[in-house]
Amino acid sequence: MADENPAVRRLSDWEPEPLRDIADEYGTPLYVQDVGRVRENAVRLREAFPDADIAYAVKANTTHAVLSALERAGIAAECASAGEVQRSLDAGFPPERIRYTAVNPPDVDLDHVCALDGVDELTITVGARDTLDRVAERGFDGPLCVRVNPGVGAGHHAKVSTGAEPKFGVPYDRAADLCRKAADRGFDLVGVHAHAGSGISGEDLSAHRELVARMGELTREIADLDPEFVAVGGGFGVPYRESEEPLDLTRVAAATREAIGETDARLAIEPGRYFVADAGVLLTTVNTVKPTPETTVVGIDAGMTTLLRPAMYDAYHAVRSLEPDLPRKDPVSCELSGPVCETADVLGRDRTLPDPTRGDLLAIGNAGAYGYEMASTYNSRPRPAVVSLDGTLVSLSVERERLSNLTALERSAGDSDGSAVDGERDADGGTNQW
């Protein structure tokens, strides 16, 4: 099993010839997602946490192929928006295997979720007393979970460390009181939830352990309410640099079980990137090679609108050339620059590549999580296509946007079809996005 299901899939493990064939057929920039690898990662998580309730943090990658593969693998869905709930339902997740964990949800989101068929089986997680009141006003009486701010955070970047950020969850010292108020109001309190952050590694396992210990204490404090589960988030990291070791998932699982202590509530985890990051690559084509005194600027057709993580988080993604004549090329230090008019539009600095030539095909690794999900149309650039791999089967998951798509929703001042620019208004004056 170890050889068939390694702890991490490196960019060098991808066979170049099939990727070249895919790029020839579908063009670039192009995301390629291997759903077989997604299933392998699900198996590894299940083996490390055999008794846990495992949910996938849908925001990492919402493509239908990924969602349907994880649904068939028996994984639950943890959703941060009404849109993610709807995508999960469309992919086959039954309501009882969906947790809606929204942060400051807009009214239109709550309206949609609370009106769904089977909503009485879907778990809604609230992170504020206001949110509790708002779901009550909509007549929701299904399973309820309370999100807790444990006062401790972890993660690969300050922008994804959620555990100590006041935006997320009820302050720890008020959580038990809100749980009791919810139960007194007739809600079916099924659990409590906290999330330290994203990209947790062995280096910050102590913060994860502290969060889990606090959640264990809270669960024992409200044991009389008989919570079914205690969710300690996910955020398990993957090694983006080739020199980094993969996460010791067995060690993380053991530390989690030890830290939570004795409780009748079932442990729940909600990884996102761990399922999908190393299952995806981004293919891009060199269009400009510009030697400068500082470096060789390699212009590519993917940029920060295609893959935002380097500009947003200073994230590192491995890069390799997929050209077949590499042995004949000398190594060159490069800066990989995209086509967006921003200084931040650089996907990699000080990278060594075989002497690049216009038309070369490059692959960018660990692009399966928060890649296509964070793509945008800034600079009026259409978003890329997504292709799914399942063994030898290659299929188009998401079509490439075209320039005509960018203006499809726009209305000019002379239009008289009665619709507002930002969508039709409902009877209460709100925007109905559904």
Instruction: Measure CA 114 to chain center.
Output: 24
Handedness of CA 284, 286, 287, 289 (dihedral sign): positive
313 among the known binding-site residues?
A: yes
Q: Which amino acid is at 290?
A: K
What is the number of H-type helices and E-type strands within the chain? Answer: 12, 18
26 annotated to bind ligand: no
Contact in structure between 142 and 118 (CB atoms under 8 Å): no
351 annotated among ligand-binding-site residues: no
* Separation CA 318–CA 156 (nearest Å): 16
Taking CB atoms within 8 Å and a gap of at least 24, the contacts of 165-170 are 167/103, 167/104, 168/103, 168/127, 168/195, 169/127, 169/193, 169/194, 170/127, 170/128, 170/129, 170/146
Residue 150, marked binder: no
Q: Which of 228, 260, 261, 59 is nearest to 146 (CA)?
A: 228
- What is d(CA 252, CA 49) in angstroms, rounded to the nearest whole number? 10
CA angle, corner 256, sides to 250 and 259, nearest 5? 140
Across 29-67, b (16+ Cβ under 10 Å) vs e yields bbbbbbbebbbbbbebbeebbeebbbbbbbbbbbbebbb
How far is 59 from 214, CA to CA, in rounded Å? Answer: 26
Alpha carbon separation from 200 to 38, 160, 258, 293, 371 (Å, rounded): 19, 10, 18, 39, 18
Closest CA to 66 of 357, 205, 274, 213: 274
Question: Which helix (H) or strand (E) is 269 found in, with range?
Answer: strand 266-269
Q: Strand, coil or helix: what is 18?
A: helix
Known binder of ligand: residue 237? no
What are the E-state strand segments in 141-187? 143-149, 170-171
CA distance 229 to 189: 10
**Residue 15 marked in a binding site:** no
Which residues, at least 6 apart from 322, have a Cβ–Cβ distance to it below 8 Å? 16, 19, 20, 23, 283, 360, 361, 362, 363
Asked if residue 294 belongs to a known ligand binding site, the reply is no
CA 275 remoteness from chain centre? 9
Report, as residue numbers or ranges, the catalytic residues: 341
In 117-179 the beta strands, taken as DSSP E runs, fall at: 123-126, 143-149, 170-171
SS3 26: helix
Per the annotation, where are the binding residues? 235, 270-273, 309, 313, 342, 370
Report the binding-site residues for pyridoxal 5'-phosphate.
235, 270-273, 370
- Residues marked as binding for substrate? 273, 309, 313, 342, 370
